[in-house]
A and B are shown apart, each in its own frame.
Chain A
């Protein structure tokens, strides 16, 4: 069965600190996609990144970076030099299958608070 675990329920950091949000997943499929979404107080889920199971290259986008390691079934998200606007709930999600619009399985989220 598929599962996504975000063990960190809440994290608080002081502005400009780096922070890493952990995500561990379980799946029996060899083809799958991993996602991170941001949910600010307004409630809308904002897409951040998608990774497929055959691409283990790490990715950097501005202050955001993602570390995908199949050996440990982890897809961690790091924010460098955090800012107050980064305060939100962050969700990791998994989609199984070889393509097609498969539904997402979400973790329970990590609430990040950046203190000015």
Chain B
């Protein structure tokens, strides 16, 4: 089976812009979670989607949002980008136990 794929792998934006990141889970996995990783805060949970519904949410501002499509693919959106949003954004899918992570999207905000 193909692993979790994320696009794009690298992205450079400027403050105030918005960005959309995409994640394709492993075939058959219905749950998709998103995480942010920064050197200072480490890995932090953003949200989790299951069957097109947000089921869990972390402590991030409303500028961070996501959605899931009927084929389980997921997107996350960050609006009004800030310098502090520069991070590695990771997506993970799960069949129930154990999360399988993608390679991440490296977002740089200038």
State whether these chains interact. Answer: no
Which residues of chain B have a CB within 8 Å of any CB of chain A? none
